[in-house]
Amino acid sequence: MNVYAALQAAQTALKASNPSGEEKQEAQLLLAQLLGVNHAWLIAHAHDALAAENQQAFQALVQRRMQGEPIAYILGERDFYGLTFKVTPDTLIPRPDTETLVEAALAKLPLAKNQEVLDLGTGSGAVALAIAYHRPQVQMTAVDCSEKALTIAKQNAQQLKMHQVRFVLSDWFDALADQTFDMIVSNPPYIEAHDAHLSQGDLRFEPLSALVAGADGLADIRLMIKSATKHLKPQGWLMLEHGYQQASQVASLFSAAGFSHIQHRLDLAGIQRVTLGQCR
């Protein structure tokens, strides 16, 4: 079997088991990583014979994907905001929607000004490191309650040579004492406990603690908004990602906590995905 035939067989198998419209790309990604090559190599060597051991290894990867395992976990990485991050089942998979949070933060962080920023629930470190990469003068603190997630985040920081980011093991603000910041950002858990989507797609494999927040999905957001005013400097910004139907509820929570200049930011689908407010 040559490279082309192997890719065609994999694409057919993926389409039959779990049609997503991305079967061709996923087959190419899996084989490219297995062989340690890029997409251009696969095209140029389409008619090269694929060694028997590589055929078997490729089929094993395809089988994992057919069983529903997220492509990001199989590959062990995911691109986010132009950077590549290591991911494992101990971390949430970074998604394009969350780039909205990074863009909102960068818009409020002047290039020439040193500011202190806190990322709550950093997971793989994608949000914190993307912000710090584009604003190297920022003093970034990233916290998570999972030691395993923080290990991955630290590895990503090392890979990106971003040694200025500080990582702290903390259940939200618990380990931060009276520290204050110019900005707090977070992509917290915001899915309802009984949401049917939890038994579908990639969510089945991701850490539940990074997804679910109480019966209405707002438990962690409530806690975060209530506590944030103690950890924000005057005129500091709080920015939270949330569910597609939660924008008005989150804005009300911001208002009740005394935040001003409450705004929303739209994701790629035009959905209100991020709410931000300024501390008085």
Q: Which domain holds residue 163?
A: 81-278
Residues 182 and 272 in one domain: yes
Here the tokens at position 90 are 């101990």
- Domain boundary at 15, 37, 68, which? 68
The rounded distance, in Å, linking the Cα atoms of 187 and 165 is: 18
Residues 122 and 59 in one domain: no
Residues 168 and 34 in one domain: no
93 within a domain of the structure (yes/no) = yes
Q: Which residues pair with 49 in a beta bridge?
A: 2
AA letter at 211: L
164 within a domain of the structure (yes/no) = yes
What parts of the chain have a pLDDT lower than 50? Answer: none
**What local confidence, expressed as pLDDT, does residue 217 receive?**
86
Running DSSP on this structure, what letter comes out for residue 270? S
- Give the distance between the most distant pair of CA atoms in the chain: 66
**What local confidence, expressed as pLDDT, does residue 213 receive?**
72
Residues 167 and 257 in one domain: yes
The angle subtended at Cα 172 by Cα 168 and Cα 176, nearest 5°, is: 55
Note the pLDDT tens digit of each residue in 62-106.
Answer: 999 999 899 999 999 999 999 999 999 999 999 999 999 999 999
Residues 234 and 170 in one domain: yes
Residues 8 and 62 in one domain: yes
The pair phi, psi for residue 49, each rounded to 5°, is -70, 140
Sequence-distant (≥ 6) Cβ neighbours of residue 223 within 8 angstroms: 172
The rounded distance, in Å, linking the Cα atoms of 176 and 78 is: 30
Domain tally for the chain? 2
- Domain boundary at 20, 35, 68, which? 68
245 within a domain of the structure (yes/no) = yes
**What local confidence, expressed as pLDDT, does residue 198 receive?**
63
52, 113, 142, 185 from 239: Cα distances, Å: 51, 19, 14, 5
Residues 132 and 269 in one domain: yes
**What local confidence, expressed as pLDDT, does residue 242 receive?**
96
Residues 21 and 93 in one domain: no
Tell me, what CATH number does 166's domain have?
3.40.50.150
**What local confidence, expressed as pLDDT, does residue 278 receive?**
98
74 within a domain of the structure (yes/no) = no
Residues 254 and 129 in one domain: yes
Residues 220 and 136 in one domain: yes
Residues 31 and 95 in one domain: no
**What local confidence, expressed as pLDDT, does residue 201 receive?**
74
Beta strands in 58-111 (DSSP E): 77-80, 83-86
- Domain boundary at 68, 98, 116, which? 68
209 within a domain of the structure (yes/no) = yes
Residues 64 and 86 in one domain: no
73 within a domain of the structure (yes/no) = no
The rounded distance, in Å, linking the Cα atoms of 1 and 102 is: 44
233 within a domain of the structure (yes/no) = yes
